[in-house]
Amino acid sequence: MRYLLLISADEQTAEQAFATGDFPDFDAWLDDLERRGVLEVHAGLHPSPSATTVRVRDGEVLLTDGPFAEGREQVGGLALVDCADLDEAIAIAAGHPASRIGQIEIRPVR
């Protein structure tokens, strides 16, 4: 079963964690998933102010600079994993270093 992991946190906290090297186990987490053959994609995103949000209302395309949701916590990355079941996806998400400063939403892929 394929699951999308949406990784989000307070952007300032995440930036500090990466800048100060608070994620020394990130490479080990990534290497483990690659070795097991469950990781399809893992990507970090540019900060939320670089986003463009698109809406179509009454046939008109409306653009907004920045993310759709305003708030301190923003999606900062994603992972696509193919694993046996939700329990395995939960274990993978719990092992991601960003789960210690933010949260990871797990969504099954259709």
pTM (whole model) above 0.85 = yes
Closest CA to 64 of 46, 49, 86: 49
Range of 34's domain?
Answer: 2-108
Q: Helix-strand-coil percent breakdown of the chain, rounded to 5?
A: 35, 40, 25
For residue 102, the surrounding DSSP H or E stretch is strand 102-108
Domain at 96, CATH number? 3.30.70.1060
Using one digit for the tens of pLDDT, what is the confidence trace for 51-101? 999 999 999 999 999 877 667 788 999 999 999 999 999 999 999 999 999
Q: Give the count of domains, the chain.
A: 1
User: Which H or E element spans position 43?
Assistant: strand 39-44
